[in-house]
Amino acid sequence: MGLKKSTWLIWIGILLLAMFNLKLTLIGIVAALLFKWFRKRFKKRELGEGEFGPVRKIVKDAILARQKGFCGKGRCKETKHLELHHRVPKHLGGDNRISNLVYLCPNHHAEAHENRKGKVDYKAVPKYLFGGFRK
């Protein structure tokens, strides 16, 4: 009842082995494996997930839309000269996904880097980097 489609396809392939010749069974098993591979390959991902190069324009636009064009620090209403900041730095495993990026005004961006001094603000670290828990 709780089996996935790919599991059912494998069982159907095994059943074909019992009923028909080996060629039909191999086709069924290959079809099930291909179905499983396509499902994993084309699963929905967060925008920017797994990207470590320059941040794409579509990601930047999505972050600005999320913040409504303002600085991402509290009640700051600065809208000009916003700088992109990685909550988790790239050298500590952060990537370009939307949940790891925030636009900050120059003052708050400098403040964020001064406060860090080699440390990570674990409240800002997304759960996916620590297997679902934070320190």
Token pair 């909550």 is found at 87
pLDDT over 60 (residue 134): no
pTM of the full structure: 0.56
Across the chain, mean pLDDT equals: 76
Whole-number pLDDT of residue 118: 53
Confidence of residue 132 (pLDDT cuts 50, 70, 90): very low
φ and ψ of 38, to 5 deg = -65, -40
pLDDT digits (tens, 9 = 90+) for 20-54: 666 656 777 788 888 887 777 777 677 777 777 88
